[in-house]
Amino acid sequence: MMCESQQPGGGSQGEGTSSPARARIGLLRHVPLILGAVLMLFPLWWMVVVSLETEQRAGMAMLGGDVVQVWPEDPQWHNYTDAMREVGSTPWISFLDALANSIVVTVSVIVGTVLSCSLVGFAFARVRFRGRGGMFLLMLATMMLPAQVTMIPLFLLFRSMGWVDTLLPLIVPAFFGSAFNIFLYRQFIAGIPEALLEAGRLDGLGWVGLWWRIVLPLCTPVTAIVAVFSFIYTWNDFMSPLIYLHSESNYTLAIALNSFRTQYAGLEDVHLLMALSVATMIPCILLFLAAQKQFIEGLGSGAVKG
Amino acid sequence: MADVRLQAVTKMFPGGVTAVASCDLVIPDGQFTVLVGPSGCGKSTTLRMIAGLETASSGTISIGERIVNDVPPRDRDVAMVFQNYALYPHMSVERNLRFPLERRRKTSFWKSLLFGSERAARQAESVAISERVAAAATQLEIDDYLHRLPRELSGGQRQRVALGRALVRDPKVFLLDEPLSNLDAKLRIAMRAELRALHRRLGATMIHVTHDQEEAMTLGDVLVVMKDGVIHQVGPPSEIYDRPADRFVAGFVGTPPMNLLEGDVRGTDFTSSSGVVFTAPVGTAEGAAVLGIRPESIRLSHNGGVSATVTSIERLGDRMDVVFDIDGISMIGRCEPSELIEGQPATITFDVAHVFDAGECGARRGKGG
């Protein structure tokens, strides 16, 4: 987040300035960055601190009391296990169900999105067929439609298929691609040298073979971006599970979290709510940290490849 | 190995651009044939049609006895080396070499999980593949970096791997699409020699595409000179050089290029458009014509000849390229090093001349050469 910009010739520019002065300028440059970081991290810090407070102090914090400290005097680590135990109607089981459902949905969506979007992106980038340009524009046009517009028709469609209160409406659409991700893949694949695909054809690959053995492995940077975006979106998705999932055993973590909040109607047990929120967020943070290198590389290489 | 025949092959791209026009060509079995011509002459398109990467709009392409117009690239038994190497960047050198062989396995991975006999056959196949890869790697001296990724190799090493990938397949025909153009001058000359040696060793049919006429002359058993989708001449390098079929071939082959002077033949005299009179080769038909004089055939003379002025000199060590001005006609000559000075007069002679019909691609005329 905080990086020094190194410009060619920067040394000669600063030759007249003494090094302590330069250090002061560097420090000054960091002040807005640090302020920005503090601002962004404040809600996260507040959530973590409240999750470790006692029930009473957390409740007071919610009411705007000044009891929140930089770090709790006596961190209540058991809040986390308490929260997980008290989700839903069955201790532990409801939480584990929700966790398993979230994992199943998220992994399936990532796999579906990567496979379908890269395949369609490959077709748009490399396969010449009648109406390709028109179809691509039509696909891009679907990005202009707000999700709310298709919500009811989709619900009716899935209800007619008998998929309501199953995980299928959350998973299956991912296997049919999404416009933005297809666009990302298409742009990246258009930059892969044609000769590589021709070499593949001479080596005995058909279209599917070219996609699977050459194009998909070369798309790793885009795949990292798409996978991280899909993970964060699906893991945190609240609206779709709320619409389609009715039984507690089918809940995902986002819904389980919500039912936890209403279960305690109001501001009681806010420490448990925060504890569960932190626990839910940890996989996202870990994934981002693990994929950070690929992710940032991907953003760069996607931009200049061509 | 096999010969390659093209009969009346035409390639038209959408939009009406004719890349190759009614091309008839026989590429003999085991020969090193070079398609050469300026950019956009249709040489790469011809090669790609032989490979199956482009479909011919009309005409017949045969490899050996088989007509391959409708045969997909993988079944044509040809291997291609691309200008930019086209190595799979995510695979090690070894995997790059194995890949074409793995794709042609006769045994099934899934069956080998179920049946012992299939498993044994597959293992034997794997051993055979490894042996072929090792043999190709040794032949091209790339065994030391089999486990590296292509991006960890130099240009020359990558080119060897690209050749190796073609070599392991043991194809009927090797197609080389400007494989040396990305290499620096020194390496290019070294790789030329290696390509020649490889061809001698394998005795395979090789078709090489280049726009570099020097590369073509040094590599090819047979040269095919093309321009605007049309074949202008087919023949061994010496014939192309000594007896160019037309004005285009004459001007294209040779460095520096042949001097071409427009004018008229009357009797034994050739009068250039600027009025300078030269002696035409014996037996040349009369009329408007183009006289061609190779720079190497121009010599400085102390015993009479044509008077000229030295316009510029490029000294190349063992020789020098001199531009002479003969009454407004500019001619380049490749001469022995001497004490010539720019702006000074000189006397030159030349003894081998070619005469072509007038026009951009005028045909060779008479007995010149």
At A138-170, the pLDDT tens digits run 999 998 989 889 899 999 999 999 999 999 999
Q: Report the residue of A189, A203, A218 to disrupt the B interface, i.e. the one with the largest count of B CBs within 10 Å.
A: A203
Cα gap B9→A293, rounded to integer Å = 52
> CB contact, 8 Å: B83 with chain A?
yes
Task: Give the 3-state DSSP-derived string for chain A, with helices as H, strands as E and coil as C.
Answer: CCCCCCCCCHHHHHHHCCHHHHHHHHHHHHHHHHHHHHHHHHHHHHHHHHHCCCHHHHHHHHCCCCCCCCCCCCCCCHHHHHHHHHCCCCCCHHHHHHHHHHHHHHHHHHHHHHHHHHHHHHHHHHCCCCCHHHHHHHHHHHHHCCHHHHHHHHHHHHHHCCCCCCCHHHHHHHHHCCHHHHHHHHHHHHCCCHHHHHHHHHCCCCHHHHHHHHHHHHCHHHHHHHHHHHHHHHHHCCHHHHHHCCCHHHCCHHHHHHHHHHHCCCCCCHHHHHHHHHHHHHHHHHHHHHHHHHHHHHHHHHHHCC
Token reading at B51: 């490979």
Residues of B in contact with A196 (CB under 8 A): 86, 88-89
What is the pLDDT, as a whole number, of residue A17?
A: 55
pLDDT of residue B345: 87
pLDDT at B353 over 90: no
For B79, which of A196, A200, A202 is closest by C-beta distance? A202
Give pLDDT tens digits for A241-284. Answer: 999 999 989 999 988 887 666 555 556 678 888 898 898 888 88
pLDDT of residue A55: 78
Q: Per the CB < 8 Å rule, is A196 touching B100?
A: no
Nearest to A204 among B74, B89, B165 (CB): B74
Contact B73/A at CB under 8 A: yes
Tokens 């409240």 label which residue? A50
Confirm or reject contact between B88 and chain A (CB < 8 A). yes
- pLDDT for A266 equals 59
Give B227 to chain A, closest Cα distance, Å.
Answer: 24
Residue A218 contacts B where some CB pair is shorter than 8 Å? yes
Of A174-188, A253-267, B233-247, least confident by mean pLDDT is: A253-267
B292-348 pLDDT, tens digit per residue, is 889 988 888 888 788 889 999 998 888 889 999 988 888 999 888 877 888 888 888
In the predicted structure, residue A306 carries a pLDDT above the cut 50: no
A201 to chain B, minimum CA–CA distance in Å? 6
Q: What is the mean pLDDT of residues B31-42?
A: 94
Q: What is the mean pLDDT of chain B?
A: 89
Q: Looking at CA atoms only, how far is residue A202 from chain B in angstroms?
A: 5
Q: What is the pLDDT of residues A183-223, one digit of tens each?
A: 999 999 999 999 999 999 999 899 999 999 999 999 988 99
Mean pLDDT of B68-81: 93
Residue A7, pLDDT > 50, answer no
Query: Which chain B positions have a beta carbon within 8 Å of A133's beta carbon?
Result: none
Please write the tens of the pLDDT for every residue from B165-185: 999 988 999 999 999 988 888
Indicate the pLDDT class of residue A295, thresholds 50, 70 and 90.
low
Q: Chain A contact for B55, CB < 8 A?
A: no
Instruction: Return residues 239-268 of B near A (CB < 8 Å).
Output: none
pLDDT at B32 over 60: yes
Percent of chain A with pLDDT over 70: 85
Long-range contacts of B240-246 (CB under 8 A, 24+ apart): B241/B217, B242/B369, B243/B354, B243/B364, B243/B369, B244/B292, B244/B354, B244/B364, B245/B363, B245/B364, B246/B356, B246/B361, B246/B362, B246/B363, B246/B364
State the pLDDT at residue A288: 79
**Which has more pLDDT, A245 or B353?**
A245
pTM for the predicted model, two decimal places: 0.81
Can you tell me the distance from the alpha carbon of A79 to that of A207, in angstroms, rounded to the nearest whole number?
Answer: 54
Q: Which of chain A's residues have a Cβ under 8 Å away from the Cβ of B83?
A: 195
Pick from A73-77, A231-235, B161-165: least confident: A73-77
- Are A284 and A235 in contact, with CB atoms under 8 Å apart? yes
Residue of B45, B47, B92, B99 best to disrupt the A interface, most CBs of A under 10 A? B99
pLDDT of residue B95: 95
Nearest-neighbour CA in chain A from B145: distance (Å): 21
* pLDDT higher than 60, residue A1: no
Higher pLDDT, A267 or A299: A267
The answer to whether residue A292 scores a pLDDT higher than 80 is no
- Are A218 and B74 within 8 A, CB to CB? no
Q: What is residue A262's predicted lDDT score, i.e. its pLDDT? A: 59
A10 pLDDT tier (thresholds 50, 70, 90): very low
Instruction: Check residue A21 and give its pLDDT.
Output: 81
% of chain B with per-residue pLDDT over 70: 98
B115 inside 8 A of chain A by CB: no
Mean pLDDT for B266-283 is 81
**Residue contact B90–A218, C-beta within 8 A:** yes
Query: In the prediction, which pLDDT does A287 show?
Result: 82
